[in-house]
Structures are given as structure tokens and as C-alpha cells.
Amino acid sequence: MSSCVAFTHPREAPVLLEREVPTCGPGEVLVRVEACGLGAADFGFFQLDGLPRAPMIPGLEAVGLVEATGGGVGVAVGTRVGLAPLAATCGGCGLCGRGLERWCSRVELHAWHRDGFLAQHVVTTGSALVPLTMEDEPTRFAPLFATGWTAFSAVRATGMGRGHRLGVIGVGGLGHLVVQVARAAGLEVRAHDVDPARLSLAGASATGPLEQDSVDAVVVCTPSTQAIQQAARAVRRGGTVVLAATSPSVRFDLSLFDTVMRGVTLAPAFLGTRSELGELINLVREGLITPHTHALALAEVPTKFWMLRDGGFTGRLVVSPTA
């Protein structure tokens, strides 16, 4: 048998379930999960009026060991792999051709269209696999395959480089990685979070709310209307506001006149290109980026769910299903 954590009813905490070890078909692999990142996007399931399906296993990013393959994937049993949420895309549309397959209309995402990775065993496809080495420590690498990837592409999407000043609003699992990626790229960082404990993850550049016209670009790392409005005020003329956190329940309105006449670009960030993920992994191997993690056992997710949902931790939650 194999344990997993799943949402079974809307607006209720997830529960620990036992199920048969899943089997993999052609083009699929069975992975024994060693570490799974968990965060706001996963907790958001509980807010939905209806689950995409039930039971619904969350978990968008993980590291594990290949335990079996159905053939046609090109990865050997025993290999350590990273698991990203991109289970399948059409592969033939213009977006897929430009490396933007994450926005393909036929994308299939783990933790949405398919089960997520918050389980002892998961079945996935070659598309979601990123080969790692046995030196790549599971807890440190698990936050890279959705959160870290998004953080990296968000900094890229600002179009800013060395010497530019970047605002970061929200210093949680995503935001603290944006801060590190930005510093590694030579940007000056001004970070803001309503929670002083989280702000400490941003180091010396912690500030109060970003002042008007104070930064060249802003990455919004919390799904909040107020944060987006603060970002639009804080960015200078010709700058970019990158929306890196999302939620089905958040809306925002900005002044059309100010946005157009000040030349402000709004850009989305969700995962990134394959080459960006490779660059990020290299930065972590070189020690230039180190995710701050809060460890948790699989069985603790249901019992501590409400505390976790309310942000009772700093950095990225990483669950060890084997613990």
C-alpha cells in the first residue's frame, strides 16, 4: 500500500489516504517521492466551491527515485528525478514551438488535471521529469520545479539586469526565491511583506510598503489585489509589473490611463522555459541560491492544515512522504 494526502470535499482540510501503489503504462514512470514542495497554490484547493475531481492530491513539485518505467521514457530505474507539474502538452501548437508550452491550451498539469505529488508513490510522464544526480539533495531541490522555476522566469520577465532596482511583494515560498534569483542576477532588491518573520528571509533589503516610483520593476508574489495596486504605484515609468502568484478568486483594477501613459507593462509568470529551469538548477548546485525550507511529515499535513494555510511557517514547506 501507499499513502497520499488528498482533498475529498470542498472547503474541508485534506485527509491521509491509503491506496494501492499506482502502476505506470507506456510513456509513464512510477516515482517514489522523497520530498514534495507545498504552498499557497495547494492550499487554494480548499477554497474552491468544487474540486476538479475527488479525491484530489495536491503537490506541484517534488524530487524522487524512479521505481519502475512503462518504457519509452528514457530514464533508468533508480535515477533521482525532479518532478515538474507539466504532465503533457500538445507539442505542436505555436506556444509549444516557442518554449511556452506551459500556456498550451491542451496542457495537462499535475495537481489539477492529474494527481499531484503529495504521496509516497506517483505516476508521471517523461514531460514532467528532470534528471538529477544523487548529490542533488531532495529537500533543497524539491522547491525548484514549480516555485523556483516561476521565481526564475519572473525575474527574467522583468527585463531588468545588473544595477536595476527590483521590488518584491510577498516574501513566502515564492518571494524569497525571487529575492535570491534577483540578487544572483545583480539586481538591487527592495522587498515587502506584511509579516516581519517572512521579511527576515529577504535580509537587509527589507522595507515597508514600496514607495511610489521607487523601483524599475516589481514581482508580485502574493495573490492579492492590494499587492498588485501597490506594485503599479511603485514601478517607475517604462517599468514592468510581473504577476507571479495567482488565484481563481482574486481580481484587480488599475487606472488604464496611468498604465498606458506611464508605459507600464503587465507580465505573467508561471513556470518558465526548460532552459531557464536548467539555469536555475545550476545556480542551486553552485550554492548561489538556497531555498529556505520547513520540513514536515506526510501525516502532519492534514493535522496541521489550518495552521499551514494561515502561513504559520517561513520559506517553502517540504513534505517527506517517507518520514
Q: Which residues bind Zn ion (CB under 5 A)?
A: 89-90, 93, 96, 104
Three cell numbers, residue 36: 514534495
Q: Provide the residue type at 220 as one letter.
A: V
Cis peptide before 22 (omega within 30 of 0): no
**Are 117 and 3 spatial neighbours (Cβ–Cβ below 8 Å)?**
no
Q: Which is nearer to Zn ion, 114 or 176 (CB)?
A: 114
Query: Which residues have C-beta within 8 Å of that of residue 217, sequence separation ≥ 6?
Result: 158, 159, 160, 164, 166, 167, 235, 239, 240, 241, 242
**Are 37 and 145 spatial neighbours (Cβ–Cβ below 8 Å)?**
yes
Q: Which is nearer to Zn ion, 103 or 252 (CB)?
A: 103
In angstroms, give the least distance from the CB of 243 to Zn ion. 22
Residue with the CB atom nearest Zn ion in the bound state: 104
Specify which residues 220 forms β-bridges with.
Answer: 169, 243
Q: Which is nearer to Zn ion, 91 or 186 (CB)?
A: 91
**Are 65 and 79 spatial neighbours (Cβ–Cβ below 8 Å)?**
yes
Q: Which is nearer to Zn ion, 16 or 96 (CB)?
A: 96
In angstroms, give the least distance from the CB of 101 to Zn ion. 6
In angstroms, the CA 152 to CA 171 distance is: 15
In angstroms, give the least distance from the CB of 189 to Zn ion. 34
In angstroms, give the least distance from the CB of 27 to Zn ion. 17
Q: Which is nearer to Zn ion, 94 or 248 (CB)?
A: 94
In angstroms, give the least distance from the CB of 273 to Zn ion. 14
Q: Which is nearer to Zn ion, 2 or 127 (CB)?
A: 127
* β-pairing verdict for 108-109 and 265-268: unpaired
In angstroms, give the least distance from the CB of 278 to Zn ion. 21
